[in-house]
């Protein structure tokens, strides 16, 4: 169980939180949980998602479990700075799909005293670090790695194994296209 432990907070303290893991590990569920808590505390917030993510909704961020939260669709990370007004919490789902400029954008927001929460895959289907995630993980004050359960053996899974022949790094999908595997089962799948 992840316990949020933050420093004494005042309006000048901002920071970056990254929630990462494989497909089906609960990244988006955790992101929405944190947003619901901020909403309950009457903190102004805004959630962004990439335009390409239309799996469950054209507008909302939706977890694989069906939990939803209203979002602003953006193409490039620089659009975030234009959209953010007086919010004290800025969240970004599917961070791995954004350009490398995302790191500078979230650093700027944190420097303005904003709590920035990002969720994304840390590795692609080949087990390679994905998009801006390595740099985000390195610059974040708080990192939460969540795990799925390996569908082959039941151990903790940190790899997203692709089940279809598509070789592009970016391919949106769900249970028909991906499955979570532990390291041992992932390595066996490569043979």
Q: Are strands 178-181 and 159-162 parallel, antiparallel or unpaired?
A: antiparallel
Q: Say which residue, 67 or 117, is predicted with more confidence.
A: 117
Q: Is residue 17 within 8 Å of residue 117, measured between CB atoms?
A: yes
pLDDT at 77: 98
CA-closest candidate to residue 178, choices 133, 126, 132: 126
Residue 146 has pLDDT above 50, yes or no: yes
CATH number (domain holding residue 124): 3.40.50.300
* Structure token digits, residue 154: 């039941």
Per the structure, the complete domain to which residue 109 belongs is given by 15-147
Q: Say which residue, 90 or 11, is predicted with more confidence.
A: 90
Report percent pLDDT > 90 for the chain.
74
Evaluate whether residue 110 is within a structural domain: yes
Tens digit of each residue's pLDDT (9 = 90 or more) over 86-133: 999 999 999 999 999 999 999 999 999 999 999 999 999 999 999 999
Evaluate whether residue 140 is within a structural domain: yes
pLDDT at 1: 46
Distance of CA 74 to the CA centre of its chain: 15
Among 94, 108, 166, 176, the active-site one is 94
Evaluate whether residue 34 is within a structural domain: yes
pLDDT at 172: 58
Q: Are strands 68-69 and 61-62 parallel, antiparallel or unpaired?
A: antiparallel
Residue 138 has pLDDT above 90, yes or no: yes
Evaluate whether residue 43 is within a structural domain: yes
Q: Say which residue, 14 or 6, is predicted with more confidence.
A: 14
Sign, CA torsion 154/155/156/160:
negative
User: Within 10 Å of residue 176's Cβ, how many Cβ atoms?
Assistant: 8
Quote the number of domains for the chain: 1
94 belongs to the catalytic site: yes
Sequence-ordered list of residues with C-beta below 8 angstroms from that of 175, at least 6 positions apart, any chain = 24, 64
Evaluate whether residue 120 is within a structural domain: yes
Evaluate whether residue 106 is within a structural domain: yes
Evaluate whether residue 135 is within a structural domain: yes
Tens digit of each residue's pLDDT (9 = 90 or more) over 28-46: 999 999 999 999 999 999 9
Evaluate whether residue 186 is within a structural domain: no
pLDDT at 4: 58
């Amino acid at each position: 169980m992840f316990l949020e432990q933050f420093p004494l907070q005042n309006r000048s303290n901002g920071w970056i939180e990254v929630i990462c893991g494989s497909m089906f590990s609960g990244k988006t569920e955790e992101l929405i949980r944190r947003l619901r808590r901020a909403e309950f505390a009457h903190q102004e917030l805004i959630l962004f998602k990439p335009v390409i993510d239309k799996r469950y909704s054209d507008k909302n961020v939706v977890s694989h479990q069906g939990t939803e939260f209203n979002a602003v669709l953006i193409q490039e990370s620089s659009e975030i700075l234009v959209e953010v007004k007086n919010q004290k919490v800025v969240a970004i789902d599917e961070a791995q799909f954004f350009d490398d400029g995302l790191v500078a954008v979230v650093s700027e927001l944190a420097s303005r005293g904003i709590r920035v929460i990002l969720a994304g895959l840390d590795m692609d289907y080949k087990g390679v670090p994905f998009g801006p995630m390595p740099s985000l993980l390195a610059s974040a004050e708080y990192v939460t790695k969540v795990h799925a359960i390996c569908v082959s053996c039941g151990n903790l899974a940190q790899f997203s194994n692709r089940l279809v022949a598509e070789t592009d790094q970016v391919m949106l999908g769900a249970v028909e296209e991906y499955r979570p595997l532990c390291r041992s089962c992932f390595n066996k799948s490569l043979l």
